[in-house]
Structure formats: C-alpha cells, structure tokens
A = this chain, B = another copy of it.
Amino acid sequence: MATATPENDPVTASGPDDPRVRILSAAGQEFAEKGYEAATVRDICTAAGVNGAAVNYYFGDKQRLYLESVRHAHQERVRQVPQPDWLPGTPPETKLRDFVGNMIERMLGLGQPPWQVRLMLREILHPTDACRELVEDYIRPHFTILVAILDELVAGSLSQAELRRVGLSVVGQCFLYRAAGDVVGMLIPEREINHLHTPEKLADHVTAFSLAALGRGEPLPKPSPRVSSRPASPSGQA
C-alpha cells in the first residue's frame, strides 16, 4: 500500500496523463535514440503533445530535463524489474545463473531493449552529472548482489577486492553485447547469433564460463577426451 501511491511518488503522481511524465517519457526516448545534442526540445514537446515552452516551464532548461529523464528512467526501471529473490538454501550457482540471466534480460530485453535501458547506457558511456545517482541507485545495488553471490560461491577464499574484479569480468561479458551489439552482430555470422547468442544461451555461457573460471563447474571444453584435472565430476550443465 505504501508503494507507488500517487501521493508519495512524485514522479508518477497523477498517472501517465501528467504532462510532466509525458514530457519525461518523450524526452527519454528522444535522448536514448539520438543523444543529448541531436535531440531537440521541439521534437520532445511534439512527441509529448505539449507546447514548446513546456520544457522550460516544468524543468527550466534542456540540461535539467535530461537529468530528470535519466533519473526517471532508472527509477522506473527499478520499479519494473524487481531484484531477484531466492529461497533460503538456493545454491549460489543457481543464483549466479539467475542473476546473469536477469542482467542480460534487463540489458537486451526481449527484442528491442526499452528506451530506459538505452538511455542509461548512454549515461554510462558518456557520463554527466546524472551518472553518480544512476550508479548509486541502480548499478551499485545490482553489483553488490553479484559480489555477494560470488562470495558465497568461493566460500570466502577471495578478498572483497578480488571478488569485485571477478564481478566486473562477469558483467563485462554481458555488457559487450549491450554496448557493442552491432559490432558483435558484424563479427558473428547471423545464424550463429540466432543459435548461440540468444539471451538464454548467452546466460548459460557466461555462467558456465565464470563458474569454470572460479573452479566451480566443468571447464568449457569437455574434459573427457583429455586427462582431466578433476576426473570425477559427472554432472554437467544441463
């Protein structure tokens, strides 16, 4: 009941008819698609169905509108995609697979990723004043969860600093697809993309790769034809 009541949530207050929110949404999409410079307040206002002076009225200037629209984007995103929640006793391997799958889903979406994600990506790649808040409110919480999973996975045998570094290795594998997706698409044959690089397969791969790197799971190349370093590991990733 206390969550997202129009009264206590100024952003979405008054629902989607609030001109403020309409502008924020239109701005987010324009900024995400064209970038800050190329997006025009005129187009934003037209898309939002409001007068050209509305941006100045509600936000002061284009700069402030951008900041607010980034904030709006990650706040909305936090609301849309809840943090994963596991039952007690869930093995960390499962958690990692869930987390990675969730992250890839969030980044790549099903089909075209939502503008909120594309806007956040722009902010990550070309940070402005909006970035710190984005990091603290959105990115760090996720990263902290990931580090906790990794910690559980290695049973305390790595320092927090090392865990963070490993965390970045995990994130980096996913991030490449999001940030450099087009280049990946040019580098990899198309049918291969459709088979081995779907969100699902990708999550499997990143999880397996990372688990193997941590010594928690089979190395990627099937060990069977080789003199395995760890012979008695019959399980594989289903």
Contact = CB atoms under 8 A, between A and B. Distances in A.
B180 A125 contact: yes
Q: Work out how many copies of this chain go into the complex.
A: 4
Given A161-B196, A172-B175, A182 B127 contact: yes
Contacts of A36: 38
Contacts of A4: none
A162 B196 contact: yes
Contacts of A175: 172, 175-176, 179-180
Interface in A185-235: 186-188, 192, 195-197, 204-223, 225-226, 228-230, 233-235
Given A180-B179, A213-B219, A220-B214, A94 B238 contact: yes
Most buried by B among A93, A155, A180, A213: A213
Interface in A17-65: 35-38
B221 A187 contact: no
Interface in A91-141: 91, 93-94, 97, 124-127, 131-132, 135, 139-140
Chain A contact-residue range equals 35 or more
Nearest to A187: B143
A215 B223 contact: yes
Contact of A207 (B219, B228, B237): B237
A139 B93 contact: no
Interface in A132-181: 132, 135, 139-140, 143, 154-155, 157-158, 161-162, 164-166, 168-169, 171-177, 179-180
15 contacts: A35-B37, A97-B237, A125-B180, A127-B182, A127-B183, A140-B186, A157-B222, A161-B192, A161-B195, A165-B196, A168-B173, A168-B187, A179-B180, A212-B219, A214-B220
Interface of A: 35-38, 91, 93-94, 97, 124-127, 131-132, 135, 139-140, 143, 154-155, 157-158, 161-162, 164-166, 168-169, 171-177, 179-180, 182-184, 186-188, 192, 195-197, 204-223, 225-226, 228-230, 233-238
